[in-house]
Structure 1
Amino acid sequence: ALLGREIFALLGWRRLMRVAEPLHARGALERVSGLLQRGGWRAVFTARLIPGLRVHTTQVAGVSQVPRGTYLAGLLPATVVYIAAFVGLGAAVGRPVLGLIHEAEHQVLLAVGLVMAVVVIFLLTRAPVRRTLASLEAAGWSGPLKFSLDSVGVVLILACLGLNFAGHAIAVTFHLPLFLDSIGTVLAGVTAGPWVGGSVGFISNLVSSNTIDPIAAPYGIVSFAVGFAAGLSRYLNWHKRASGWIALWLVCAAIAAVVSTPINFLQSGGRSGVGSGDAIYATLNSAHLPRILAAFIGEGVVDFPDKLITIVAALLIAQGLPARQITAEPVGLDLGEAFTFVIRSPGWWRKLLAAAICLLFIWLIVPYLLLVGYIIEIARHVRAGGRQLPPWVHRGRNIRDGFKVALVILIWTIPSALLSIPAAIVGAAVSEGSTKALGGSIAVAAEFLAAVGSVWGVVVLLIEAAILSQYLDRGFWAALSVPAIIRRLRVNVGLSIVVGVLVVVLSSIGVVGLAALVVGVLVTYPYASFIGSYLVGQYARLTDRTGDPSRQSQALRV
Structure 2
Amino acid sequence: MHTTQVAGVSRMPRLTFLAGLVPAAAVYIGAFVGLGAAFGRPILRLIHEAEHQVLIAIALILALVLAFLLTRAPVRRAIVSLEAAGWTGPLKFNLDSIGLVLVLASLGLNFAGRAIAVTFHLPLFLDSIGTVLAGIVAGPWVGGSVGFISNLVSSNTIDPVAAPYGIVSFAVGFAAGLSRYLNWQKRLSGWISLWLVCSVIGAVVSTPLNFLMSGGHSNVGSGDAVYAALNGAHLPRILAAFIGEAAVDLPDKLITVVAALLIAQGLPEPRTTSAPMGLDLGEAFTFVNRSPGWWRKLLAAAICLLFIWLVVPYLILVGYIIQIARHVRADGRGLPPWDRLGPNIRDGFKVVVLIFTWWIPSALLSIPGAIVEAATSEGSKQALGGSIAAGAGLLAGVGSVWGLAVLLIEAAILSQYLERGFWAALNVPAVIRRLRVNLGLSIVVGALVVVLSSIGILGLAAVVVGVLITFPYASFIGAYLVGRYARLTDRPVPPTLTLPHKGGGKLARQP
TM-score, length-normalised on structure 1? Answer: 0.78
Show the counterpart of 1:47: none
Residue 62 of structure 2, aligned match among 104, 111, 116: 116
Corresponding position: 1:410 with 2:356: yes
The residue type equivalent to 1:134 in the other structure is V
Matches of 1:149 and 1:298, distance apart in 2: 40
Corresponding position: 1:190 with 2:148: no
The residue type equivalent to 2:258 in the other structure is V
Matches of 1:252 and 1:149, distance apart in 2: 26
8 Å contact from structure 1 (residues 491, 546) kept in 2: no
In the TM superposition, residue 273 of structure 1 has moved relative to its aligned partner by 0.7
In the TM superposition, residue 143 of structure 1 has moved relative to its aligned partner by 5.4
8 Å contact from structure 1 (residues 151, 491) kept in 2: no
8 Å contact from structure 1 (residues 510, 526) kept in 2: yes
Q: Alignment partner of 2:376: what SS?
A: helix
In the TM superposition, residue 500 of structure 1 has moved relative to its aligned partner by 1.2
Corresponding position: 1:309 with 2:249: no
Corresponding position: 1:279 with 2:225: yes
Show the counterpart of 2:243: 297
Show the counterpart of 1:518: 465
The residue type equivalent to 1:128 in the other structure is P
Q: Alignment partner of 2:279: what SS?
A: strand
Matches of 2:377 and 2:75, distance apart in 1: 57
8 Å contact from structure 2 (residues 90, 139) kept in 1: no
The residue type equivalent to 1:520 in the other structure is V
1:39-86 Cα offsets, whole Å, 9 max, x none, are: xxxxxxxxxxxxxxxxxxxxxxxxxxxxxxxxxxxxxxxxxxxx9999
Q: Alignment partner of 2:375: what SS?
A: helix
In the TM superposition, residue 320 of structure 1 has moved relative to its aligned partner by 2.5
Show the counterpart of 1:365: 311
1:468-495 Cα offsets, whole Å, 9 max, x none, are: 1111111111111222222222222222
Residue 430 of structure 1, aligned match among 367, 376, 381: 376
Matches within 5 A, 1:464-543: 464-515=410-461, 516-521=463-468, 523-543=469-489
Q: Alignment partner of 2:325: what SS?
A: helix
In the TM superposition, residue 511 of structure 1 has moved relative to its aligned partner by 1.9
In the TM superposition, residue 149 of structure 1 has moved relative to its aligned partner by 4.6
In the TM superposition, residue 289 of structure 1 has moved relative to its aligned partner by 2.5
Change (3 A) 1:329 1:488: farther
Matches of 1:141 and 1:85, distance apart in 2: 57
8 Å contact from structure 1 (residues 151, 327) kept in 2: no
Matches of 2:368 and 2:493, distance apart in 1: 40
Show the counterpart of 2:327: 381
Change (3 A) 1:536 1:431: farther
Corresponding position: 1:237 with 2:237: no
Q: Alignment partner of 2:126: what SS?
A: coil
Matches of 1:220 and 1:361, distance apart in 2: 31
Q: Alignment partner of 2:320: what SS?
A: helix
Matches of 2:33 and 2:242, distance apart in 1: 42
The 10-residue stretch of structure 1 (182-191 or 253-262) with the greater mean CA deviation from structure 2: 253-262
Matches of 2:458 and 2:92, distance apart in 1: 26
The residue type equivalent to 2:65 in the other structure is V
Matches of 2:383 and 2:455, distance apart in 1: 44
Corresponding position: 1:445 with 2:394: no
8 Å contact from structure 1 (residues 488, 546) kept in 2: no
Change (3 A) 1:236 1:304: same
The residue type equivalent to 2:467 in the other structure is G
In the TM superposition, residue 447 of structure 1 has moved relative to its aligned partner by 2.0
Show the counterpart of 1:75: none
The residue type equivalent to 1:351 in the other structure is K
Q: Any unmatched runs of 5+ in structure 2?
A: 1-28, 496-511
8 Å contact from structure 2 (residues 35, 43) kept in 1: no
Change (3 A) 1:257 1:433: same
Q: Alignment partner of 2:41: what SS?
A: helix
Matches within 5 A, 1:29-108: 90-108=36-54
Change (3 A) 1:271 1:217: same
Show the counterpart of 2:338: 392
In the TM superposition, residue 194 of structure 1 has moved relative to its aligned partner by 1.1
Matches of 1:317 and 1:104, distance apart in 2: 51
The 10-residue stretch of structure 1 (249-258 or 274-283) with the greater mean CA deviation from structure 2: 249-258
Change (3 A) 1:92 1:145: same
Matches of 1:478 and 1:546, distance apart in 2: 17
Change (3 A) 1:185 1:85: closer
Q: Any unmatched runs of 5+ in structure 1?
A: 1-82, 550-558
The residue type equivalent to 2:466 in the other structure is V
1:164-211 Cα offsets, whole Å, 9 max, x none, are: 011101111111111110011011111111110011001111111122
Q: Alignment partner of 1:342: what SS?
A: coil
Change (3 A) 1:294 1:477: same
8 Å contact from structure 1 (residues 188, 197) kept in 2: yes
In the TM superposition, residue 509 of structure 1 has moved relative to its aligned partner by 1.8
In the TM superposition, residue 108 of structure 1 has moved relative to its aligned partner by 2.2
Aligned pair count reads 467
The residue type equivalent to 2:489 in the other structure is T
Residue 215 of structure 1, aligned match among 138, 161, 170: 161
8 Å contact from structure 1 (residues 239, 315) kept in 2: yes
1:335-384 Cα offsets, whole Å, 9 max, x none, are: 34323322332332332222222222222222221111111001111111
Q: Which protein shows a greater Rg? A: 1
Show the counterpart of 2:10: none
Q: Alignment partner of 2:278: what SS?
A: strand
In the TM superposition, residue 439 of structure 1 has moved relative to its aligned partner by 2.1
The 10-residue stretch of structure 1 (110-119 or 350-359) with the greater mean CA deviation from structure 2: 350-359
Matches of 1:122 and 1:451, distance apart in 2: 47
Q: Alignment partner of 1:430: what SS?
A: coil
Change (3 A) 1:475 1:427: same
Corresponding position: 1:351 with 2:305: no
Matches of 1:368 and 1:384, distance apart in 2: 24
Show the counterpart of 2:283: 337
Matches of 1:329 and 1:482, distance apart in 2: 32
The residue type equivalent to 1:341 in the other structure is F
8 Å contact from structure 1 (residues 150, 192) kept in 2: no
The residue type equivalent to 1:402 in the other structure is G
8 Å contact from structure 1 (residues 164, 183) kept in 2: yes
Matches of 1:375 and 1:410, distance apart in 2: 17
Change (3 A) 1:514 1:287: closer
Q: Alignment partner of 2:121: what SS?
A: coil
